[in-house]
């Protein structure tokens, strides 16, 4: 495995890896850490001479496992704060009011997405984050396209309901 081949693999699949990790924790920084660690492990496997027939499947599987272990490994070992604590910290720099309002709105959407199942969040992240079609999402998640449509529709509906029920949106 040469460096250009590895770079091509990174360009092709890193967003998918990020999306799955993000869907697990709804934390962009954690997802980025998981993504980088996943590719580092792939490189190590190759350096060891391991033959990986389907790198994409391998990457997605490892990303899921790493995302699962992320909370109990990184935060406990390093003693860092949980992402929700860090995002709650205020900057010393004055923030424009528009930015504050926007951030607040994003935080609300994030909290509603957190109430959905991980499976629903995966579909939503791949659909809206990466603009993937049903066939691609089905391939990544190992389900059929009908199931993708069902999850997508259900997740969208639930999200709209949450926004209404919480009074965040008004009719």
Q: Which stretch binds other proteins (CB under 8 A): 59-67, 83-91, 140-148, 160-168?
A: 160-168
Of 42 and 67, CB closest to other proteins: 42
Q: Is 94 exposed, middle or buried (0-12, 13-18, 19+ CB in 10 A)?
A: exposed
Of 56 and 110, CB closest to other proteins: 110
CB 60 within 8 A of CB 17: yes
| Pairwise CA distance, residues 122 & 139, whole Å | 13
CB 166 within 8 A of CB 112: yes
Per CB under 8 A, the list member of 16, 20, 21, 22 interacting with other proteins is 22
Per CB under 8 A, the list member of 16, 18, 20, 116 interacting with other proteins is 18
Contact positions with other proteins (CB under 8 A) in 52-81: none
Q: Which of 129, 112, 120 is nearest to 148 (CA)?
A: 120
Of 55 and 129, CB closest to other proteins: 129
């Amino acid at each position: 495995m040469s460096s250009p081949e590895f770079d091509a693999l990174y360009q092709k699949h890193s967003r998918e890896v990020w999306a799955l990790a993000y869907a697990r924790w709804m934390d962009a920084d954690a997802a980025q850490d998981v993504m980088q660690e996943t590719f580092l492990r792939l490189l190590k496997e190759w350096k060891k001479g391991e033959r990986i027939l389907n790198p994409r499947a391998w990457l997605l599987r490892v990303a899921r496992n790493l995302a699962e272990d992320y909370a109990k490994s990184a935060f406990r070992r390093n003693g860092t704060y949980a992402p929700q604590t860090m995002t709650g910290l205020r900057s010393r720099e004055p923030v424009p009011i528009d930015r504050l309002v926007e951030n607040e709105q994003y935080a609300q959407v994030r909290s509603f997405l957190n109430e959905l199942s991980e499976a629903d969040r995966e579909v939503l992240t791949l659909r809206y984050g990466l603009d993937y079609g049903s066939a691609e999402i089905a391939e990544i998640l190992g389900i059929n396209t009908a199931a993708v449509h069902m999850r997508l529709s259900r997740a969208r509906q639930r999200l709209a309901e949450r926004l209404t029920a919480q009074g965040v949106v008004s009719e």
